[in-house]
Amino acid sequence: MNQPTPILVSSAASIPSFPSARPEDLDTDPAWLDDADSLILRKYPRMHSFLVVRRGQLIYEKYYNGYHIASLNDLRSATKSFMSVLIGIALARGEMQDLDSPVWGLVSKYAPSRPDPLWDTITLRHLLTMTSGLYWETGSKLGEKFIHRFHKSRSLARFILRLPVQEEMLGTFQYRSTDSHMLSVLLTEMTGYSAFSYAQSHLFEHLGIYHAGWSASAEGHTMGHIGLSLTSRDMAKFGQMCLNGGIWEGKRVVPEEWLQQSFIPRSEPYFGYGSYGYQWWNGTEDGVHFTYAHGHGGQQIILIPSLEATVVFTADSTVSRWRNPRQLLRNYVIPAMRT
């Protein structure tokens, strides 16, 4: 690794700027959004923020429970969508191998003495789509049975390389955080930089993100499946850039083709979460299609192309039970934009 893995970067100017407008100026009825805010206050006691961006303008912004514009939010598994974008950037820069080439040669140094022989068939595409076939157990609400054991391991990479490959599951979607973390390991092996350092240079700097945190494993790899912390406005910036085909303030940040490929549903619908692409979920509410990054507790960055909108929800990530904010999207945000 060419440089130490940073855990936190910050700036005196920690309040991100964002162009704003009134909802009614962008064909959005503010009464619906105010109703959503009222419901959050009554029924979502763990909510931290609710933002709506339309046509590149921030039209609604609310904070709760002491959170504010400069507060960092723990994105949990919404981190995975950022990893997807970093992989796309690295591919465009010629720093990553082909999606269908086996990854074994890059990670075999972390493997046990007798690895599963099917490990050398796993490709970058398998990891991006969570179709690696690695032995794992996931519940209907994305609860992962072995996740605490995984996090307590002295080496996350070695833990993953010790997992057997289920031949019958290779190529079939199963939600597993190990695949996402391996993306971070591979990014570092190919570029020499941690995912956080790489993001600072090739993503965050272009978006004007200067106040962020990202956890690292004991062996120095940025966590690929969780660990990123951003302000709500910076989450909205990322979402708006992706919605705009990879362009932010007139400059290309991410290849448009990569984002298009990332958003394609590549799995069967999963327990109300939708279908999975390259570390992004896809869903539909009342005939309106959207793509979204999702994290435990209700961390969501929702891209709605047909409405030219990005919606951000953040909430307490330390809870075991929580209310999915998706019903707010269906019952209030989408109707507000259909008036």
Domains of the chain listed by start with CATH number = 21-337 (3.40.710.10)
Which residues of the chain fall below pLDDT 70?
1-7, 10-14
126: Cβ contacts below 8 Å, ≥ 6 apart = 132, 133, 170, 171, 179
User: Using CA atoms, how far apart are residues 105 and 120, in angstroms rounded to an integer?
Assistant: 8
247: Cβ contacts below 8 Å, ≥ 6 apart = 241, 253, 256
Run of H or E including 61? strand 57-63
Run of H or E including 232? helix 232-243
pLDDT at residue 15 in the model: 81
**By C-alpha distance, which of 110, 290, 247 is closest to 185?**
110
152: Cβ contacts below 8 Å, ≥ 6 apart = none
Run of H or E including 308? none
pLDDT tens per residue, range 197-212: 999 999 999 999 999 9
pLDDT at residue 16 in the model: 87
pLDDT at residue 10 in the model: 66
pLDDT at residue 109 in the model: 95
DSSP class per residue in 112-123: -SS--GGGGG-B
pLDDT at residue 89 in the model: 98
> Could you tell me how far CA 269 lies from the centroid of its own chain?
18
The 8-class DSSP code of residue 317 comes to S
pLDDT at residue 6 in the model: 63
In the structure encoding, which two tokens stand for residue 46, read together? 């763990």
User: Using CA atoms, how far apart are residues 73 and 235, in angstroms rounded to an integer?
Assistant: 9
